Amino acid sequence: MDILTLNCGSSSVKYQVYDWDAKEVLASGIVERVTLGGSVISHKARGKAEYVNEHECPTHTVAIELILETLQHPEYGVIKSMSDIKAVGHRMVHGGSKFARSAIITDEFLETFKSLTDLAPLHNPANLMGVEAARAVMPDVPHCAVMDTAWHQTMPETSYTYAVPHEWQDRHMVRRYGFHGTSFLYTAKRAAVLLGQDPFKTNLVIAHIGNGASINAVKDGVSFDTSMGLTPLEGLVMGTRSGDIDAGIVFHIMRQTGMSASDVEKKLNKESGVLGVSGKWADRRDIEVNAEKGDHRAQVAMELEGYRIKKYIGAYMAALGRVDALVFTAGVGEMGPMIRALATAGLENLGIKVDAERNAKAKCRNAELEISAPDSKVKVFVIPTDEELVMTEDAWALVNGKYDVHTKYRYSFQEAGYVNKQRAEGLKADLAKKPYLADLVASPGK
């Protein structure tokens, strides 16, 4: 049974084709810089050379079409036709109060989901494009929605309630929902494995740092608090999103400039974050390069992002009381040692001590790495996320009538002996070029 997963982010589309029977990834890849210009697809198929192709993707629909063409490519593809796909899992960002768990996608489901677009203006439209493009090509295949917000349904009322008129929550769904749920679910379960602990007796702080970024406090294995709120705009400084600001800024700017609510919303979602601070760059790789060159605004953007992450780490450690591990994940979290260094500097008194040399070397998407110093009271891991695997397992479970919430369902990657075959092969290649990575690899229960 081959399962396709599509993960449409604000500026990227990740995908994977998984052979459920062989428990093996047939192909995976990502289309980067969607809507930003300079789009490129990076495609890896089992037993074949990596395929990289520059192809402008001004919309997510174009990116989906490019992915489907690549999967059927005579040289680099892995399927003869889309009929080989028996189920499709879609990352859906905002379920509001309507959807609290993964579900089979129907026309009724989509109509309800469309009504929630205003809650996630950067992501829900992209998710819908992915669903509609895939359903058009594969109308007879079950399509499954995996909700980013589902993981956070365990938050207590004191975490998800805003101090605003209560009728806003009752009538307008104003509350904290949280996002990046599939990523947090995967990394929380994997961190428990690395610690050798019962996942439901494990406390974690997980920083998912990508173009979109959020941080999650995990108490006894479930989400306790998270930085994103009603929408993915709140919390950390992001690629193009502001994160936390004084709400009064919105009214001040509207009065001073005459801008409409929609105009300000666009500015905060698409023209703020590190892009707004630097004035030029949304991609952290560009920020880092130019910060090293001495560009002052790039330096401020990078240091501001690191500082905001640090503040949330401290706040969530206070909220949890005891923390077993700090985890970095997603694109920047996995490949950005400078941001990790900025986010953890000076936290020794809280029990977090990062080994500077290990951190500088920790740039690998094929292995779980430990960057904490030997005498650090809190373990610090870099865990490559695998949202696609969570989506694949949820899709399989939904289609086969076995799905349940994560507190009642055991995923394959919770086993100590779990191996991602594709990443294991990738690690061999990484080690051939960077043998020092072997010393950084975290072992289960070590």
Examine the residue annotation and report whether 148 is marked as an active-site residue of this protein: yes
* Domain span at 205: 197-383
User: Out of 19, 21, 140, 148, which one is annotated catalytic?
Assistant: 148
Taking every pair of Cα atoms in the chain, the longest distance, rounded to a whole number of angstroms, is: 61
**377 lies in the same domain as 394:** no
d(CA 304, CA 315): 17
d(CA 163, CA 398): 37
In the listed set 383, 404, 431, which residue is the last one of a domain according to the structure?
A: 383
For strands 2-8 and 85-92, give the pairing: parallel
**140 lies in the same domain as 34:** yes
With contact defined as beta carbons under 8 Å apart, do 94 and 179 qualify? Answer: yes
In a domain, 54, yes or no: yes
| Residue 216 three-state SS | strand
In a domain, 158, yes or no: no
d(CA 79, CA 72): 5
Who contacts 116 (Cβ-Cβ below 8 Å, separation ≥6)?
A: 94, 95, 96, 98, 124
In a domain, 332, yes or no: yes
**CA distance between the termini of the chain:** 35
- pTM value is 0.90
In a domain, 166, yes or no: no
In a domain, 157, yes or no: no
In the listed set 334, 365, 383, which residue is the last one of a domain according to the structure?
A: 383
Give the chain's domain count.
2
Beta bridge partner(s), residue 14? 7, 30
In a domain, 371, yes or no: yes
**143 lies in the same domain as 223:** no
**247 lies in the same domain as 103:** no
**260 lies in the same domain as 125:** no
**347 lies in the same domain as 266:** yes
Per-residue pLDDT of the chain (446 residues; tens, 9 = 90+): 899 999 887 778 889 999 999 888 999 999 998 888 999 999 999 888 899 999 999 988 888 889 989 999 999 999 988 888 999 999 888 887 778 889 999 999 999 888 888 777 767 888 888 888 888 888 889 999 999 899 999 999 999 999 999 999 998 889 999 999 999 999 999 999 999 999 999 999 999 999 999 999 999 999 999 999 998 899 999 999 999 999 999 999 999 999 999 999 999 999 999 999 999 999 999 999 999 999 999 999 999 999 999 999 999 999 999 999 999 999 999 999 999 999 999 999 999 999 999 999 999 999 999 999 999 999 999 999 998 899 999 999 999 999 998 999 999 999 989 998 889 988 999 999 999 999 999 989 76
**143 lies in the same domain as 280:** no
CATH number at residue 143: 3.30.420.40
Residue-wise pLDDT for 323-355, tens only, equals 999 999 999 999 999 999 999 999 999 999 999
- Give ∠ CA 252-253-257 in degrees, rounded to 5: 125
For strands 222-226 and 369-370, give the pairing: unpaired
**130 lies in the same domain as 258:** no
In a domain, 289, yes or no: yes
**213 lies in the same domain as 329:** yes
**397 lies in the same domain as 349:** no
**7 lies in the same domain as 140:** yes
**109 lies in the same domain as 201:** no
**290 backbone φψ class: left, alpha, beta (φ>0; ψ -120 to 50):** alpha
In a domain, 173, yes or no: no
d(CA 337, CA 137): 41
